[in-house]
Amino acid sequence: MTSRADAIVADGLTVRRGRTQILHGIELRIPAGQVVGLLGPSGSGKTTLMRAVIGAQRTAAGTVQVLGRPAGHRALRREIGYMAQSAAIYDDLTVEQNLDYFRRVLGAPASDLDRVAAELGLDSVRRTLASRLSGGQRSRVSLGIALLGTPKLLVLDEPTVGLDPLLRKELWALFGRLAASGTTLLVSSHVMDEARRCDRLVLVREGRVIADDTPDGLLAATGTLDHDEAFLVLLERAAAQERAA
C-alpha cells in the first residue's frame, strides 16, 4: 500500500536496455526522511534504478512515483538533487563558478553558494579551476551541485568514491543531518561500513530487490555480525533459490 510518507514508490518497474532486461518488475517503497542505502554487485542495476527515479530512464513497464508524482514530472526538477557517478562539472570554470552556474539554473538563492561550499569543505578551493581538482574534490563539487536549492530528495550514485575516511565520515554525518531535517536520501555504495549508517538498506541482485530491511534487521535475518557477511549470505540464498526454481 502506498503511504503518504513514501518518497519513492516503484511498482512493477521493468527496464530494458538494448535486448537485455535490466530491471525485473521492481517493487520498492522508500520512506521519506530516511537515508536509504542501495547496494548490490557491480552491474546489478543500481544506477538504472536511480535513473528511473530521476526520470532519466525509459521504462518498459510499471510505474515510479516520486514525492507523489510520476517520475520525470516537471514539478520534480527542483525537488530532486542527483549526483551521477561521473562528475558533471565544467573544467574551465572554478568551483565557485560551477556552483553559481547551477545555482542560477535552479533559481536557488545566492546564499546557497556559501552554505554548500562550507558543508562540503570546499572553501579552500573555491577559486580553483575544476580541471585542477583531485578526484575527491571533483566529486564533492558534484555533490554540492546536488545539494543546491535544498531538494526534498537526494539521489546519490556512489557519492563517497575516492574520499578519505575522514571526509566520508563527515559526509555521512551531513546525510544524517539532512535526513533529520526531512530530506530523503537514496545513496548507492560499495563500501559496506557505510551500510550501517543507513536507516534502511535495499539490496539488488541481477535487477531484482532481494532484501529491504534495517541494517540490524539484515544482520538478524542472516545470523551474521557484519554487513559484508550478510550480503554474501543473501546473494548466495538468492542464487540458490534461482537454481532450485
Indicate the SS3 state at residue 70: strand
Q: List the one residue from 6, 7, 44, 222 that touches ligand ATP (CB under 6 A).
A: 44
As a whole number of angstroms, the distance between CA 98 and CA 89 comes to 7
Does position 94 bind ligand ATP by CB under 6 A?
no
Q: Is 55 in the site for ligand ATP (CB under 6 A)?
A: no
- The binding track of 24-43 with respect to ligand ATP, each residue x by CB under 6 A or -, is ----------------x-xx
Q: Does 22 bind ligand ATP (CB under 6 A)?
A: yes
* Least distance between ligand ATP and beta carbon 245 (Å): 21
Minimum CB distance to ligand ATP, residue 132 (Å): 27
Give 172's contacts (C-beta < 8 A, 6+ positions apart): 160, 194, 197
Contact 168, 103 (CB under 8 A): no
Find the shortest distance in angstroms from Cβ 157 to ligand ATP: 7
Q: Count Cα atoms within 13 angstroms, Cβ side, for 33.
A: 5
DSSP classification of residue 94: B
Does residue number 16 form part of the binding site for ligand ATP (CB under 6 A)? no
What is the spatial distance between Cα 144 and Cα 121, in angstroms, rounded to a whole number? 10
Count of CB atoms situated within 10 Å of the CB of 199: 16
* CB 184, min distance to ligand ATP, A: 19
Residue 47: CB minimum distance to ligand ATP, A? 3
Residue with Cβ nearer ligand ATP (56 or 173): 56
Using CB under 6 A, pick the residue from 7, 26, 46, 156 that binds ligand ATP.
46
Q: What is d(CA 102, CA 97) in angstroms, rounded to the nearest whole number? A: 9
Binding site for ligand ATP (CB under 6 A): 17-18, 20, 22, 40, 42-48
